[in-house]
Structure 1
């Protein structure tokens, strides 16, 4: 985000850390600001969360900055690292032809719905298979 400090404006990294409680209510655990996105910044965030009593993290969703997963897993072992859905979509759309972007995006949104918290991992994988089959011939995984 553009941030004004003194007489100048520059882009800086802001992180909002959300936790999901056992009752599935979201809770803001912290808002952090760094001059840029770095793995050391993520390490600082994790250290702060540990100091404040967070003992275990099951899933960490990130935008794909190099080294972030390793920094998180150093402090919270066994944490699963997942790419943010928005960044996943951007990554996919960067690799496809212009004429396919709209339909791929529509298919993606239909396939990867997040509206059923009771859906199992197996059910979700089965739900994604038609999407993968439809597009994997034209755009094989590289």
Structure 2
């Protein structure tokens, strides 16, 4: 009996990219991801390393070729709000948000405000604590 292509698929889970575009790209290229594989990204795509814009652009492009699920982390909420409103939350700036703002230098306001990635990321935030897993549903943005 021959297995179907969907039975051969793998699920890949990545999290806490934090603006590390080059590392993300290397992981994806070396993983050997197949056409039917599922990619799940656990949030915090931005802040930290200086290439947050490139990370978001890369993930949007990746989702055109593979089945991707994106979960929004706290850094992504802050960045999405900044992109939509052009106002940076002080807590975000204290948590490396300035590196993301710098990565968007030279990107037009219209392109920032229309970034579709942050609009399609799940509103569910899941995080691990030492005592177990917690979830926040339908967070008001």
TM-score scaled by structure 2?
0.32
TM-score scaled by structure 1?
0.32
Larger radius of gyration: 1
The structure showing larger relative contact order (alpha-carbon pairs under 8 Å, at least 6 residues apart) is 2
